[in-house]
């Protein structure tokens, strides 16, 4: 990826397009990225929920884990993650976490297995931009001799998200319609070879399209030529994922938080729990049976003032019981919302809490997450 | 009535000894969608540079500093219910506070419209 003029920031293959679209570019994880376009964050957020939004997520890390066969490659990754990777089917994707020896989360990531049985033994990883170097070092250091990490530097990643994403995509890549949520395939988009998964991080139906850097702009322009699609920046990406109850690494998850504290125990599949054969298993299994000192919850504020990362959480008696890790105005909810960690006795839905902002106590209630219903596409059972 | 501008992107419109204070169009465009405004109570005494109000956009909270010394005589209650007005009409209906000036000579340290425009163009 190219380097921009200022501050040694990296640019994605869509940098010129962002500027042409009037994006406000900001530094993010070492990249110059669009935080918003002229229509603004709320309009972009709402457009994604109602129609379809195009996101440049090329800053994220893409890599292959390559071994002689699926079992060997999957076993190598399972040494670092608590999820069922051996049992992942061809063309299926899974959300998981890299764990340190203390059961803390090094990063959250997506893993998909090759579509074709002819090309098996290959897992495709998508990791957070800010964690690439850490992740790759940890993975590479722990691999057996017959499995290697191939970092992909020459591909862009474009997300198309929203209830109209599937209709829009069908005009360019008819095969994409065959995918269900967390399905992945290699297919052609207007004749361009892509790796497409039906996933994303907005809570909406949609796709992530991995493509050679040189072809990324052609795909983005083809999608933006459709009236139903608008470009969406990082600002709305953040408000969309927050409303969908999805964690942002470095804020809602870090190397001290376990999957149990982070309330993402769905990354622990049954076989792995029973075997206890992942880093930090002692801590994680004891937390599963005996509980934790803190747990991630969703909160809805009563007034209009937002509470942001770092705000203190108090109970009704005024005692400190936790900290906000993400928060802001939620355009679809129409109110400020937050996520944070609280002592388990305050995690029950309906619990009254107080969030402290600039010395003021803002009343809030623990609510179920997601704050906005997730609308992923799952195939009807036939 | 004369209007002055601060380097912190506030405008101050002076009528007699009362100044109406708000944020400029440039400021609102930089903030993006405003979702909350916190205003001081009437009667509060502000010194130049004190935090007078807080504007929250979707992205972040920003302080609005008092551009001059004075006592708050009125806050614009309409902004509490309709913070988006700050984006729509920042230099009109979406004024923040009215201050009774206690040191009118401070106005001379502020910019006029032409100077402010040149200042913004240079950013």
Q: Would the CB atoms of B36 and A239 count as touching at under 8 Å?
A: no
B33 interfaces chain A, CB cutoff of 8 Å:
yes
Secondary element (H or E) of residue B31: helix B25-31
Q: Which residue has the tokens 């440039």?
A: B26
Alpha carbon of B35: minimum distance to chain A alpha carbons (Å)? 7
Query: Is A298's Cβ below 8 Å from some Cβ in B?
Result: no
Domains present along chain A, CATH in parentheses: 293-367 (2.40.30.110)
Residues of A in contact with B56 (CB under 8 A): 305-306, 329
Q: Which residues pair with A296 in a beta bridge?
A: A341
Task: Choose, out of A329, A330, A338, A357, the residue to mutate when testing the contact with B (most B CBs < 10 Å).
Answer: A329
SS3 category, B86: helix
B56, A329: Cβ pair inside 8 Å?
yes
In this complex, which of A305, A329, A358 lies closest to B58 when CB atoms are compared?
A329
Could you say which of A42, A306, A331 has the minimum Cβ distance to residue B56? Answer: A306
pLDDT at position A1: 57
Contacts of B117 (CB under 8 A, 6+ apart): none
Instruction: Answer whether B36 sits within 8 Å of A336, measured CB to CB.
Output: yes
Residue whose token pair is 């599937």: A166
Which ranges constitute the DSSP H helices of A142-277? 165-170, 213-224, 234-243, 270-275
* A6, burial (CB in 10 Å: exposed 0-12, middle 13-18, buried 19+): exposed
Q: Is residue A65 a contact partner of residue A73, using CB atoms and an 8 Å limit?
A: yes
- How far A21 CA lies from chain B's nearest CA (Å)? 16
* Residue range B39-62, pLDDT digits in tens: 999 999 999 999 999 999 998 899
- CB of A304 within 8 Å of any CB in chain B? yes
Domains defined along chain B, listed by start: 2-103 (2.40.50.100)
Nearest CB partner across the interface for A358, out of B54, B59, B87: B54
* Beta carbons of A305 and B83 less than 8 Å apart: no
Three-state secondary structure call for residue A95? strand
- Are B35 and A239 an interchain contact pair (Cβ–Cβ within 8 Å)? no
Facing residue for B36 by CB, picked from A36, A43, A306: A306
Give the pLDDT of residue A145: 97
Q: What is the largest CA-CA distance in chain A?
A: 63
- List the single residue in A with minimal CA-CA distance to B53: A358
To the nearest whole Å, the CA of A161 is away from the closest chain B CA by 20
Render pLDDT for A329-350 as a digit per residue (tens, 0 to 9). Answer: 999 999 999 999 999 999 999 9
* A102 annotated as belonging to a binding site for a ligand: no
Residue of B nearest to A36 (CA): B32
- A235 and B58 within 8 Å at the Cβ level: the answer is yes
Q: Which residues of chain A have pLDDT under 70?
A: 1-7, 381-382
Q: Which helix (H) or strand (E) holds A323?
A: strand A320-330
Cβ pair B36:A42 closer than 8 A: no
Interchain pair B32, A235: CB under 8 A: yes
Q: Report the residue count for chain B.
A: 123
Q: Determine how β-strand A52-56 pairs with β-strand A229-231.
A: parallel
Q: Is A305 on the interface with B (CB under 8 A)?
A: yes
Q: Does B36 touch chain A (CB under 8 A)?
A: yes
User: How close is the nearest chain B Cα to the Cα of A81, in Å?
Assistant: 33
For chain B, say whether A30 makes contact (Cβ under 8 Å). Answer: no
Chain A residues near residue B57 by CB distance under 8 angstroms: 41
Kindly state the helix (H) or strand (E) to which residue A98 belongs, with its residue range: strand A93-99
B33, B34, B37, B51: which to substitute to probe chain A, counting the most A Cβ within 10 Å? Answer: B33
Q: Which residue has the tokens 């063309």?
A: A91
Interface size, chain A vs chain B, as Cβ–Cβ contacts under 8 Å: 42
With CA atoms as reference, the chain A residue closest to B39 would be A305
CB contact set of A209 (below 8 Å; sequence gap of 6+):
A157, A158, A159, A160, A189, A194, A195, A196, A219
Q: Which of A193, A301, A304, A199 is nearest to A241 (CA)?
A: A199
> What confidence score (pLDDT) does residue A382 get?
55
- Least Cα distance to A32 among A53, A6, A63, A60 occurs for A6
ipTM (interface pTM): 0.87
Q: Chain A residues with CB inside 8 Å of B38's CB?
A: 305, 358
Give me A270's structure tokens. 């049954």
Instruction: Give how far Cα A148 sits from Cα of A73, A85, B38, Å.
Output: 9, 16, 55
Whether A233 and chain B come into contact, CB under 8 Å, resolves to no
Q: Looking at the complex, does the CB of residue B123 fall below 8 Å from at least one CB of chain A?
A: no
């Amino acid at each position: 990826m190219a380097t921009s003029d200022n501050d040694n920031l990296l640019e994605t293959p869509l940098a010129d397009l962002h500027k042409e679209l009037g994006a406000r570019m900001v530094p993010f994880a070492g990249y110059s990225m669009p935080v918003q376009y002229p229509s603004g964050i709320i309009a972009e957020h709402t457009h994604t929920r109602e129609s379809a939004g195009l996101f440049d997520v090329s800053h994220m890390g893409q890599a292959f884990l390559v071994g002689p066969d699926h079992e060997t490659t999957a076993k190598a990754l399972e040494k670092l993650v608590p999820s069922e990777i051996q049992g992942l089917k061809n063309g299926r994707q899974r959300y998981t976490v890299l764990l340190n020896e203390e059961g803390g989360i090094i990063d959250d990531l997506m893993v998909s297995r090759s579509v074709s049985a002819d090309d098996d033994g290959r897992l495709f990883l998508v990791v957070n931009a800010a964690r690439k170097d850490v992740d790759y070092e940890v993975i590479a250091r722990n691999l057996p001799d017959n499995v290697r990490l191939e970092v992909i530097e020459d591909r862009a990643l474009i997300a198309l998200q929203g209830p109209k994403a599937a209709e829009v995509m069908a005009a360019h890549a008819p095969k994409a319609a065959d995918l269900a949520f967390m399905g992945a395939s290699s297919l052609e988009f207007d004749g361009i070879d892509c790796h497409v998964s039906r996933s994303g991080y907005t809570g909406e139906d949609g796709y992530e399209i991995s493509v050679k850097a040189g072809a990324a702009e052609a795909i983005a322009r083809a999608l933006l030529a459709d009236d139903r699609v608008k470009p969406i920046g990082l600002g709305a990406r953040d408000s969309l994922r927050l409303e969908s109850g999805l964690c942002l690494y470095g804020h809602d998850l870090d190397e001290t938080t376990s999957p149990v504290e982070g309330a993402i125990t769905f990354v622990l599949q049954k076989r792995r729990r029973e075997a206890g054969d992942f880093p930090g298993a002692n801590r994680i299994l004891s937390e599963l049976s005996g509980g934790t000192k803190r747990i991630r919850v969703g909160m809805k504020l009563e007034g209009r003032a937002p509470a942001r990362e770092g705000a203190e959480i108090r109970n009704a008696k005024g005692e400190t019981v936790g900290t906000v890790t993400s928060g802001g105005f939620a355009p679809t909810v129409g109110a400020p919302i937050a996520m944070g960690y609280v002592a388990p006795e305050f995690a029950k839905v309906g619990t009254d809490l107080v969030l402290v902002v600039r010395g003021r106590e803002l009343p809030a209630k623990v609510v179920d997450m997601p704050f906005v219903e997730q609308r992923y596409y799952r195939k009807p059972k036939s | 009535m004369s209007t002055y501008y601060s380097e912190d992107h506030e405008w101050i419109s002076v009528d007699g000894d009362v100044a109406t204070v708000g944020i400029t169009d440039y400021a609102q465009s930089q903030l993006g969608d405003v979702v909350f405004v916190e205003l001081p109570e009437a009667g509060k005494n502000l010194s130049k540079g004190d935090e007078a109000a807080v504007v929250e956009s979707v992205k972040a909270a920003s302080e609005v500093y008092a551009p001059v010394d004075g006592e708050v005589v009125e806050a614009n209650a309409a902004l509490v219910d309709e913070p988006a007005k700050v984006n729509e009409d920042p230099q009109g209906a979406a004024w923040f506070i009215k201050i009774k000036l206690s040191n009118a000579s401070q106005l001379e340290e502020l910019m006029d419209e032409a100077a402010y425009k040149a200042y913004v163009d240079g950013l």
